[in-house]
Chain A
Amino acid sequence: GAGVSQSPRYKVAKRGQDVALRCDPISGHVSLFWYQQALGQGPEFLTYFQNEAQLDKSGLPSDRFFAERPEGSVSTLKIQRTQQEDSAVYLCASSYNLKGGQYFGPGTRLTVT
């Protein structure tokens, strides 16, 4: 069956550009998570949605990062005025509910030059 998909898989941005990363969760999954994975590190939590409500954005590293899920399905992570330290793999995960396992997408590798 269809898993979590993310696009683009790779993104190269010049410093200062804005980027938008898309996540398509598994159909029917209420919970959606974004994580950031720096090279050689484990994923780190960024933000969490329950349906369209963003219930936790405590992991977003700065106000340049913004996430939305307006209709409770597809989510977009936007990074404004990208910096080199934003280079990482951005992972999206979804789960049926909070107690369920989180299913991860393949990630978007962002490189800021």
Chain B
Amino acid sequence: GNSVTQMEGPVTLSEEAFLTINCTYTATGYPSLFWYVQYPGEGLQLLLKATKADDKGSNKGFEATYRKETTSFHLEKGSVQVSDSAVYFCALRLPFYSGAGSYQLTFGKGTKLSVIP
């Protein structure tokens, strides 16, 4: 079946440190890949996405590159801030030609990031 595996948290970093959160996936075909972020007390927000191999999604200083050969979509940021403290979820969505279930998101378990001043 389809699945997403993320590195386990929590991850604690000092402000301005480099961030990597690993994400790998298992899926048939060529899924779209997403990173969502959940700030405390808020709903999930789409952070970035990539729809095909070698695409790079980016937003708010975060980046992730769709690597088909390694089935990965690792999230990176060069210099984290305290305001980046949140839970980050990697997710996939099957291509629409996959038929039934191609619209639902399949999520990883989430990685909690805490950034300390």
Q: Report A's interface with B, CB cutoff 8 A.
A: 3-4, 31, 33, 35, 40-45, 48, 56, 58-59, 91, 93, 98-99, 101-107
Contact = CB atoms under 8 A, between A and B. Distances in A.
Given A40-B109, A42-B89, A42-B109, A58 B42 contact: no
B73 interface: no
B18 interface: no
Nearest to B105: A102
B66 interface: no
What 10 pairs across the A-B complex have the smallest Cβ distances? A42-B107, A104-B44, A45-B104, A104-B43, A106-B43, A98-B103, A42-B109, A101-B46, A43-B107, A105-B43
Contacts of B4: 42
B43 A42 contact: no
Contact-size category for B: 20 to 34
Majority DSSP secondary structure for residues of A touching B: loop
A48 B110 CA distance: 23
B42 A31 contact: no
Nearest to A99: B96
Contacts of A44: 107
A45 B107 CA distance: 9
Interface in B69-116: 89, 91, 96, 100-101, 103-110
Contacts of A4: 43
Given A41-B109, A42-B4, A42-B109, A91 B103 contact: no
The residue among B4, B44, B89, B108 with the most chain A CB atoms within 10 A of its own CB is B44
B44 A59 contact: no
B14 interface: no
Nearest to B4: A42
Contact of B108 (A42, A91, A103, A106): A42
Nearest to B110: A42
B45 interface: yes
A101 B51 CA distance: 12
A31 B101 contact: no
Contact of B101 (A41, A56, A93, A101): A56
